[in-house]
Every structure is written in C-alpha cells, then in structure tokens.
Amino acid sequence: MTHLCNETLVTMVNGQFPGPAIEVTEGDSVTVHVVNESPYNMTIHW
C-alpha cells in the first residue's frame, strides 16, 4: 500500500482493506473461523 509516497506492508482480509463488516442483529449467533497465514509473528484482534 502506498500512502503519502511511502510504501507500507499491510495484511488484508479477503483482499479487502479495511476488512469486511460483520453485520448481525440482537439474538444472532456468530461463528468466526480465522486462519492466520501471515508469514509474520502477528495476532488478529477485533
């Protein structure tokens, strides 16, 4: 990603930055399956 003439490495979710929104309503159950294939020592938070 290039921002203000500087290149920055970013990890994207499904090719999207920012990642896709998860839309739910009260009472819904949500299961999120995360696969971290990053070659860097990183964690995923939300």
Which residues pair with residue 2 across a beta bridge?
A: 7
Count of beta carbons in the 10 Å neighbourhood of residue 40: 7
Q: Residue 1's pLDDT is what?
A: 67
pTM, entire model: 0.41
| Domain regions of the chain by residue span | 1-46
pLDDT, tens only, 6-39: 887 777 777 777 777 889 999 999 998 888 877 8
- Which of 32, 28, 26 has its CA nearest to residue 44? 32
Instruction: Report whether pLDDT(42) > 70.
Output: yes
